[in-house]
Amino acid sequence: MKSTAIRQGLNMFLKNGYGEVTALQFDGRERTLKMQLMLNGESSSIEVEVGRFEPEMEGDDLYVRLSEVRISRAWLQALVQSRIEGRRFKVPAALAGMAKLVLS
């Protein structure tokens, strides 16, 4: 149930020209996430594993911090390590309500 909700939320974001999540495994207790993406322009799927994610509330806003991220494409792995991993990102308002329910 929660994996389906997360996949639908991510697909809402990705459908705007990026691609789609084709498979997803979510463990709320361990705060881990594994997913398979089919990104536009790619000939095969991309595997993503988030070893740890930390949701953080600030007022009514939800933020998430990702760590231990592994991606099956070397260039994406380098991008994530330099620009995303360990940083805090605000969850878009359109997804925040659903995300709060899933993460509780």
- pLDDT for 73: 96
CB 10 within 8 A of CB 35: yes
Per-residue pLDDT of the chain (104 residues; tens, 9 = 90+): 566 777 777 777 777 788 998 998 988 889 899 999 999 999 999 999 999 989 888 998 889 899 999 999 999 999 999 999 999 999 888 777 777 666 66
How would you classify the pairing of strands 46-58 and 32-39?
A: antiparallel
Domain borders along the chain are: 2-103
- pLDDT for 83: 94
- pTM given for the model: 0.80
- pLDDT for 8: 78
Question: How many Å apart are CA 50 and CA 66, to the nearest integer?
Answer: 7
Q: How far is CA 72 from CA 13, 18, 35, 38, 49, in A?
A: 21, 17, 11, 12, 9
